[in-house]
Structure formats: structure tokens, C-alpha cells
Amino acid sequence: MLLIAIFSLTIFYQFSFGFPSNFGRNDIVAKATDDGNARFLIVGDWGGLPFVPYKTPSEVAVAAAMGHIGEKLNTSFQLALGDNFYYDGVQSVTDPRFKHTFEDVFTAKSLQTPWYVLAGNHDHLGNVSAQIEYSKISHRWVYPDYFYTFSLWESDKTKKLVDFVIIDTVLLCGGGNLTDWEETEVDGPKNNRVAEAYWQWIEGQLRQSTAPYLIVSGHFPVYSVAEHGPTKCLVDRLRPLLHQYKATTYICGHDHNLQHLAEDSDGSHMDYFVVGAGNIVENSQKHAAAVPAGSLKYFWGTGLLLGGFSMVEVNSSQMTLSLVEHTQRTLYQAVLKPRV
């Protein structure tokens, strides 16, 4: 009976408010803007501190900048790329870190829109299932499962603009016991059968994506020049799928800086962005020789700065990803075209 009620309620909302029949339960409609662009914000590795005041000056500065930009540009939602609570995640759904590090920091009215969340290695040192459960308590925390999808629809609800595939790179590759002072030399997933099932799920989601843009997001990088470097598991398994199914980009955190890398392989182009400067900023490029030659297009990071994030604006013709510092200054922009 409960399933019937839920199904009936879904049909009622779709009929009453004009949502298309394929509108997913996690999907979001872009806010209307004067120029017709949909906009959203991305922040990674933003998770404060495990002791008073439970936040850092960098996190506070980034939150303020995101709030100002969100209000000015009428952004629709936020994408949070993991390491949500340093250093050991949360212990339960009532953990005070939700309040001290999230609710009391990202207070701007423009940031009361949905936050699509994924887990990082520091979250896996705690209780990730509690972060998932927090979706039932918070009006803006959207974390339905370790792996999930959602789509951004145009403001008139007529068609999808972007498909998102959200993945848990720790369950895929291991590394749930890593600190920020270790390279991402992960030792493999704890459960190979579960990991293989998720790899099949990922390929299925990529295969069925029909939106003009397809964004895949996880915590560990495919490629990075910084302190952790590339993740071999993702280079071996995810990278071929991104090329095969013509994903627009892979966006991650883990390394505490802002990066854009791009590669061309067998006639297929792929862009990679690292957006991991929400709480701590580091300037390391110790793995510059570990990425494809010429792939690094932009790098920003120094311990003297107070963090950064990303703002994305998208329409049917192009997607522009901006890397932004805590002063709201745009550092770098990359233009991405719709999938062919």
C-alpha cells in the first residue's frame, strides 16, 4: 500500500505542477534567469575542523563568496564533492558537526537550495550512512545513496540540460583509510563483488544518458598534478567509460586546489576538473609528471589563500565552468560544448 501511495503522489505532483513523466525524484528545475542560463555552484573538501570552532577561515570565506554569487546570479543548487567533515566524518545522524560545520556556515539565503552530496575518504572514516540519513532531516541536504543520479532541467521543464552521475570512489577503489598526507595509492575495494556491481551500474547510467551534457562526479581524481596525484583505479576503469560514452567532464575534489586538465584520446576529448579548495589550500604539483603530457590547463593553490570553488552556467549551446576564489574573483574559465 505504501508503494502505491508513493506512486500515486508522484503522479499527482507531475500532473498538477507540469513535470514531465520522466522527471526523476532527485531532479531539479533550473531557476529562471534573465539571460536564460542555468547556474550552480561546486565546492569540495570543505569540511571544517573536528574541534571548536568546527570551521576554518577558508571555509567561512568560501561560504560567504558562494552566498553572494548565488544571490547575484540566482544559482539553482550546490554540488558538494566530499570530505564534508574533517577529519573523521560524522558518527550519527544527530552528530553536532552537521550544525556546526554545515548549517551554521552556509547560511546565505541563496544557499538554502539543494546540496547534492557525495562522500570522500574522510567521510568514510566515520559513518557515511548517517550522512545519507541526514537527507531526511535537512531540507537541503540531498544524499539518497552512495551512488545516485539526478538531472538539471530547463526552467520551463521541457527538457533536460545536464545529467549527473554521482559515484563513491572509496567503494570503487578503496582508500577509505587515507589521510590527506598520503598519495592515492589505494589498495582496492573492500568488497570486490560490490565494486563490480557498481561499475556495471555506472556504465549503465552513462549509456542511457540523453542530456546535452553529462557530468560524472566523485571524490578521488582521475588525473591530478597535486599531492595525491592520479587514481590508478579510476584511470584504468572510469576513464575509458568517460571517453566511450562522451561524458562532458569528470569533477572531483581530494586535492586541495583548483585544476583543469584535458586530454584527447582516439578522437575523443575529455575535461577533468579538481575543485578541492573549500577548506584548505595546498600548492603541491608533485605529480606533474604523472598526468598526460600537456594535459594541465590551469592550476591554482597556495597556503596563503583562503580557498575557492566553482560556478557553472549552462544553456543548450555551451557550458562555462569558472574557477573562483574566496574574493569572488573569477580565476579561470573553460567553455564546454554539448555532446555530439
Binding-site members are 45, 83, 86, 121, 219, 254, 256
3: left (phi over 0), alpha (psi -120 to 50) or beta: alpha
Do residues 274 and 296 lie in contact, with contact meaning Cβ atoms separated by under 8 Å?
Answer: no
| DSSP 8-state secondary structure symbol assigned to residue 136 | G
Tally of residues, the chain: 340
Binding residue numbers for Fe cation: 45, 83, 86, 121, 219, 254, 256
Q: Which residues contact 169 (CB under 8 A, 6 or more apart)?
A: 175, 218, 219, 220, 231, 233, 234, 252
**Can you say whether the dihedral through the CA atoms of 236, 259, 177, 144 is positive or negative?**
negative
SS (H, E, C) 222-278: CCCCCCCCCCHHHHHHHHHHHHHCCCCEEEECCCCCEEEEEEEECCEEEEEEEECCC
